[in-house]
Chain A
Amino acid sequence: MKILVPTKRVPDTDQKIVATADGTRVAVDHIPYVINPFDAIALEEAVRIGERLGESVEVVAVGIGGEGYEQQLRTALATGAHRAVHVVCGQTLDPWNVARLLRAIVEWERPQLVLMGKQAVDDDASQTGQFLAALLDWPQATFASRLELQGERIRVERETDHGIETLNLPLPAVVTTDLRLNEPRYASLAAIMKAKKKPLDLIDAEKLGVTIDPRIEVLRYRSAETQRRCERVRSVDELIERLRNQVGAIV
């Protein structure tokens, strides 16, 4: 069985993230990059499936982007992926084009399962997995908090606003992962050593036969207001008024 895990390289959003003064981009020069946490959860789940089923599972991590991706794909190899594929692409891609490139990879690699994060913590779009499922015409299950592989089918518990929904899908399928699915492992010394010998294939995005066709243009970025007001309120009534009228936190 082959499980494909698309991964996105994102800035660590636990750091302080602001827009540049001119609003043209996000100031990430000093921010370390990580594998999108939800994709790390997907990779961990794929690795666990492999550990349960044994030799017959191959976990392939995919990253689409520029040079820096190699570091994240090495992390993926050190935390359990058997092989990594780096689709080299210098352009910034919106979810539509990422999904189209992933479709080409899927058609080449022929995995039985695509397991990826429910959203990337940079754009928070939560579109790519669903786009990919539609393009492939595969069944989908999003926001998975529990997975159970049963032969040619997969049972998925999904986190929804109204409770945990259970779906049962035939493979091949696209499943996106939610936070409570698992806690990703660290890399052990042995795994770090082994990862050095694992294959990391490079493919030029152009060779995949997909013409990049943007659907979204980013016009500007604006930082959320971070200057702490440090306002002392004198009563509960004043606090409620601030939360309602200044913050919009309550209706």
Chain B
Amino acid sequence: MTENQAADVIIIGGGVAGLSTAMQLAGRGASVLILERERLGNGSTGRAAGLLGQLRGNAEHTRMLIDGVAIVKELERAAGVEIFVQTGSLRIAETPERAAEIASLVKMGKSIGFEIDHMPIGEVAERMPYMRTDDLVDACYCPTDGHLQPAELAGAYIKVGRERGVRYQTNTPVIDILIEAGRVRGVKTANGDYHAPVVVNAGGPWSYLNAELAETVLPTAAIGHYYLTTRPDLAHPVDRFSPAVRDRELRIYTRPESGGLIVGIYDAEPDLHDMRKLPPDFDMSRMKAARDSIQVARLIDAAHQRFPWINERTAMTITTGIMTFSPDARPFCGQMPDIEGLFHCSGFSGHGIVQSPVIGLIMSELILDGKSSYDVKSIEADRYFDIPGYMERDDIEARCLAMAGNYYGKVERAQSVDSSSPSLVGRG
């Protein structure tokens, strides 16, 4: 086993974050080893809905997501599978505040050359015959949005990664991170030690525990999430290319799935999971919601308000899983000042699938070049380093919980764009 126990980069975690990073690093000649505690893609990746809304609150993030789609399209060719389903997306508003959100988003999007426009409610009603629209005051549509199929995406990362020489070791939890004089040396597992000058913490909900192994603090928390998937209903057919919908007032998002509809909720009071309390063989794919869970009831209630044919008696499955939230819903990508060689890649706050293509690229740049071609200031790993209120677990959990609870709740305005920001037009 000794020949296989060294690498240029060891990645802890075989979800989309780790898989994408591995693929990109290997593409640039690095020898990469992924150590996954259980099965590749069986954590949050396996539970995700994968909605892709490219237009973010600011231009740089939007650019990242657009570039991510280009990476995905290449992956589709390389792996021979459909990953990106371009349904387009709708954001709908039923109050003046939400309409103002939409207006600012449309304005911002247009100013950077992103395809977005208001859509008359009548047209929304036509496109979405199975959705209630009589209470809407505004809507906007992005034709280039859609969703990424998580299973196909993960599979493509693995396939291309394998072709590039990435080694995958499953059922191998990391039990310690080896550090000497402030530098990472490798990791310890039940199978023995693995050595590398760079270790990437892509452990999803477990990331903060991995950080603790290295005696450092990563301000993420494990937050529960629920979505329902209806079974096809002849009375309410859902076309495969029906637009995804975001209804922030009701806190729900939706997209088509296998002839039915996925409806997910960003609940105002989500569950906090203590990852330490989980059994060692915890399998996220076996997580189940109780039939009388208040969160499920709230999900159904919200879904019902937008899709009146959905209620507690509808034939459907409930999927529940764990997301990794950060205090500002942005991921941590990069090193902390206290340990050299330990790169974090976590905290995707419900947007891991869609950010993973470009994040993998960014991580490979940070690791191999020491910097990224993107403006990564807002996703720097050390942005909360040593700041009071972001160091104790209680504080971190409270902040992440508040962020998750407000995720759709608070009314947002897109950052106004000044003339010096790069336009999206002309990017390849």
Contacts and interface: CB of A to CB of B under 8 A. Distances in A.
A and B touch in the complex (CB under 8 A): yes
Interface of A: 12, 14-16, 30, 32, 34-35, 40, 74-75, 78-79, 183-189, 191-192, 195
Contact of A12 (B283, B288, B297, B315): B288
Given A16-B281, A30-B279, A187 B292 contact: yes
Contact of A189 (B290, B291, B297): B297
Q: At the interface, is chain B mostly helix, strand, loop or mixed?
A: loop
B300 A186 contact: yes
Given A186-B291, A187-B292, A16 B286 contact: yes
B34 interface: no
A14 B289 CA distance: 12
Given A16-B283, A186-B312, A188-B312, A79 B301 contact: no
Nearest to A15: B286
Interface residue SS majority, chain A: loop
Q: Across the A-B interface, give the 8 residue pairs with the lowest CB-CB distance, nearest first.
A: A187-B292, A78-B292, A188-B312, A186-B312, A30-B279, A75-B292, A189-B297, A185-B313
A51 B375 CA distance: 60
B169 interface: no
B183 interface: no
A189 B292 contact: no
Contact of B296 (A35, A74, A186, A195): A186
Interface of B: 279, 281, 283, 286, 288, 290-294, 296-298, 300-301, 311-313, 315, 318
A75 B301 contact: no
Nearest to A182: B313
A14 B297 contact: no
Contacts, number: 57
Contacts of A185: 291, 312-313
A192 B296 CA distance: 11
A183 B315 contact: yes
A185 B300 CA distance: 11
B315 A189 contact: no
A184 B313 CA distance: 7
26 contacts: A14-B288, A30-B279, A34-B290, A34-B291, A35-B291, A40-B291, A74-B292, A75-B290, A79-B291, A183-B315, A185-B312, A186-B291, A186-B292, A186-B296, A186-B297, A186-B300, A186-B318, A187-B297, A188-B311, A189-B298, A189-B301, A191-B297, A192-B292, A192-B294, A192-B297, A195-B292
A188 B297 contact: yes
A184 B312 CA distance: 9
Contacts of B311: 188
Contacts of A183: 315
B420 to A, nearest CB: 49
A241 B292 CA distance: 47
Contacts of B293: 187
